[in-house]
C-alpha cells in the first residue's frame, strides 16, 4: 500500500480533514488502493477501473467525466448484480462523545466510518439510509441509491451530536419494526448498556432475515487503559465522578473489557452477525474490510 493511501486510513490524519465528504473520499480511496494488493483485487477492479465502451453496453454506464477529459467513451466496470439496501445506525449517547487524547471522539470516528461506507454503497448503486438514535429513533433518512443521497447522508451525519442517555435495545426494536425488506444493518455504538436486551434486539433483526454488522467502537484509552497513578473518572452521561488508583485497577479493568467484547463476539457469532471491535486509534480499513467480507459472503 502506498504511504499516502495508508496515511488516509489513520484516524489522526483524517481528524485534520474537516469536511466529511473529503474524509469519506480519502478513507475509501486509501482502502481501494490497499485492495489492489489483496485477495479482494477483483472487487477493487470492479469498483475503480473503466473499460472501453463496446456496442451493446448500457449507455447509462458511460463515465462522462472521463469522456470530457479524453474524448473517448469508457464505461464504469462495476456492476451492481444485486442491489442491497443498507442502513447506517448511529448511537447518539453522550458516552460516544468521549475522547482521551483529543484525537477523534468515538462519535467522530463512527461518522467518518459511516460516511466512507455510505460512499462505497452509493458508488455500487446500492440504496443506503441513515438512522440516529438515543432513547429512541430521533432521525431517519430513507434509503436511496441516487448520487445526491451521499450529500444527504453526509449533511445529516455532520449535524448529529452525541448527547444524553441511550436505550440501544429499545431503539433497535423500534428500527426493526420500521423495516419492510431484507437489508444490511450497520450499527455504530460503544454498546455501553446492559448487554442482554441488546442481544435480543440483534437476534430479532437477524431472525427477520437482515444482515447485521456491529461496529463496536471504544476510545483508544477505554480499550487499552494507558493510565497510571490516581485517576478521576467521570460518567459521560450522568456526570458522576469517581477517583481510583489506575495501577491497582488496570488488570481487572482490561479483563472486564475483554470479557464484555468476548461475550458480544460469541453472541453475534451464534446469530451469524458480524461483530467488529474497534477503537479510535485503529486504521479504518479493518472496518471497511468487514463490510466487504459481508458483501462477498452474500454472493
Is a pLDDT exceeding 90 seen at residue 204?
A: yes
In angstroms, the first-to-last Cα distance of the chain is 27
Under the banding of pLDDT at 50, 70 and 90, the label for residue 27 is confident
pLDDT band at 278, cuts 50/70/90? Answer: very high
Q: Is the pLDDT of residue 52 over 70?
A: no
Can you give the pLDDT at residue 109?
A: 95
User: Mean pLDDT score of the chain, rounded to an integer?
Assistant: 84
Helix runs in 164-245, H state only: 168-178, 195-207, 220-224
DSSP 74: E
- State the DSSP code for 189: E
Rounded to 5°, the CA angle 74-83-144 comes to 90
Any idea which of 34-38, 109-113, 208-212, 289-293 has the lowest mean pLDDT? 34-38
Runs of H (alpha helix) within 194-284: 195-207, 220-224, 246-270
Q: DSSP E strands: which ranges in 119-256?
A: 128-133, 137-144, 183-189, 211-218, 230-234, 241-245
The pLDDT value given to residue 290 = 81
Q: Quick check: 45 pLDDT over 80?
A: no
Secondary structure letter of residue 274 according to DSSP: E
pLDDT at 44 over 50: no
Q: Which of 155, 185, 157, 150 is nearest to 171 (CA)?
A: 185
Q: List phi, psi (to 5°) of 5.
A: -60, -45
Confidence band for 213, pLDDT divided at 50, 70 and 90: very high
Helices 195-207 and 168-178 sit at what angle, rounded to 10 degrees? Answer: 10
- Whether 210 has a pLDDT exceeding 70, the answer reads yes
State mean pLDDT over 267-277: 94
Minimum mean pLDDT range among 10-19, 57-66, 242-251? 57-66
User: What pLDDT does residue 234 have?
Assistant: 77
Assign 48 a pLDDT band (cuts: 50, 70, 90).
very low
Q: Measuring CA to CA, which residue among 80, 283, 295, 90 is closest to residue 186?
A: 90
The set of long-range contacts for 244-248, using a CB threshold of 8 Å and a minimum separation of 24, is: none
User: Longest C-alpha distance within the chain, in Å?
Assistant: 72
Q: Domain 85-298: give its CATH superfamily.
A: von Willebrand factor, type A domain (3.40.50.410)
* Proportion of the chain above pLDDT 70, given as a percent: 79
Could you give the percent of the chain with pLDDT greater than 90? 51
Domain ranges within the chain, ordered by starting residue: 3-76, 85-298
Query: 164 to each of 53, 123, 130, how far by Cα in Å?
Result: 54, 34, 20
By 3-state DSSP, what share of the chain in percent is helix, strand and coil, each rounded to 5?
50, 20, 30
In this prediction, residues 155-170 reach a mean pLDDT of 93
CA dihedral 51, 53, 58, 61 (to 10 degrees): 50
Q: Rounded to an integer, what distance in angstroms lies between the CA atom of residue 260 and that of residue 33?
A: 34
Amino acid at each position: 500500500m502506498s504511504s499516502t493511501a495508508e496515511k488516509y486510513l489513520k484516524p489522526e490524519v483524517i481528524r485534520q480533514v474537516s469536511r466529511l465528504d473529503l474524509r469519506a473520499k480519502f478513507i475509501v480511496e486509501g482502502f481501494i488502493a490497499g485492495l489492489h494488493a489483496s485477495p479482494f483485487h477483483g472487487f477493487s477492479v470492479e469498483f475503480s477501473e473503466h473499460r472501453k465502451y463496446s456496442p451493446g453496453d448500457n449507455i447509462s454506464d458511460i463515465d462522462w467525466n472521463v469522456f470530457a477529459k479524453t474524448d473517448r467513451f469508457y464505461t464504469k466496470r462495476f456492476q451492481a448484480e444485486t442491489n442491497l439496501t443498507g442502513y447506517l445506525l448511529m448511537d447518539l449517547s453522550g458516552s460516544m462523545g468521549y475522547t482521551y487524547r483529543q484525537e477523534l471522539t468515538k462519535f467522530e470516528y463512527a461518522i467518518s466510518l459511516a460516511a466512507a461506507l455510505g460512499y462505497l454503497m452509493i458508488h455500487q448503486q446500492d440504496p443506503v439510509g441513515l438512522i440516529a438514535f438515543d432513547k429512541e429513533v430521533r432521525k431517519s433518512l430513507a434509503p436511496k441509491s441516487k448520487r445526491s443521497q451521499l450529500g444527504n447522508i453526509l449533511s445529516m451525519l455532520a449535524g448529529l451530536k452525541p448527547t444524553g442517555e441511550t436505550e440501544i435495545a429499545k431503539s433497535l426494536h423500534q428500527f426493526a419494526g420500521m423495516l419492510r425488506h431484507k437489508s444490511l444493518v450497520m450499527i455504530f455504538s460503544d454498546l455501553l448498556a446492559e448487554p442482554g436486551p441488546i442481544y435480543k434486539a440483534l437476534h430479532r433483526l437477524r431472525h427477520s432475515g437482515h444482515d447485521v454488522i456491529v461496529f463496536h467502537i471504544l476510545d483508544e484509552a477505554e480499550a487499552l487503559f494507558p493510565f497510571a497513578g490516581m485517576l478521576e473518572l467521570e460518567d459521560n452521561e450522568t456526570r458522576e465522578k469517581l477517583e481510583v488508583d489506575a495501577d491497582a485497577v488496570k488488570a481487572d479493568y482490561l479483563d472486564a473489557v475483554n470479557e464484555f467484547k468476548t461475550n458480544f463476539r460469541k453472541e453475534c457469532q451464534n446469530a451469524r452477525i458480524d461483530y467488529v471491535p474497534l477503537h479510535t486509534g485503529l486504521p479504518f480499513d479493518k472496518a471497511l474490510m468487514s463490510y466487504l467480507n459481508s458483501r462477498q459472503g452474500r454472493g
